[in-house]
Amino acid sequence: MKKLGDGLRSFLRSAGLEWVEDYMRVMEAAKAVLGSYRGLEFHDYRRGVLILKFENLHALMDLYYRRNQIAEAINAIAGERLVREVKFISREQADG
């Protein structure tokens, strides 16, 4: 994962946008982890809550039980405990 340069990081902090770096790290890590989960993709990340979009309602129960495992894998790649909670939304909810 590419790291932001010191200049860009300083700019984000001064503009009150330090959350952008965490968002980018979670999004990139989520894409790596979610590749092994069919029909599941990154939707959003805000204040420790990762929102994932799912296609298959039948797989939702299994995904719900694996949410902690998903969060741990993403946090491991990100190198920090950024994801504290995982929520799921359907493709219809995401698009509407």
Quick one: the chain helix, strand, coil %, rounded to 5? 55, 20, 25
Looking up residue 27, the CATH number of its domain turns out to be 3.30.300.180
CB 8 within 8 A of CB 21: no
Per-residue pLDDT, averaged over 12-31, amounts to 83
Task: Report pTM.
Answer: 0.80
For the chain, give the mean pLDDT: 87
Q: How many domains does the chain have?
A: 1
12 in a structural domain: no
Distance, C-alpha 6 to centroid of its chain: 23
Residue 23 lies in a domain: yes
Containing domain of residue 75, as a range?
19-95
Give the rounded percent of residues in the chain with a pLDDT score beyond 70.
Answer: 89
23-29 average pLDDT score: 92
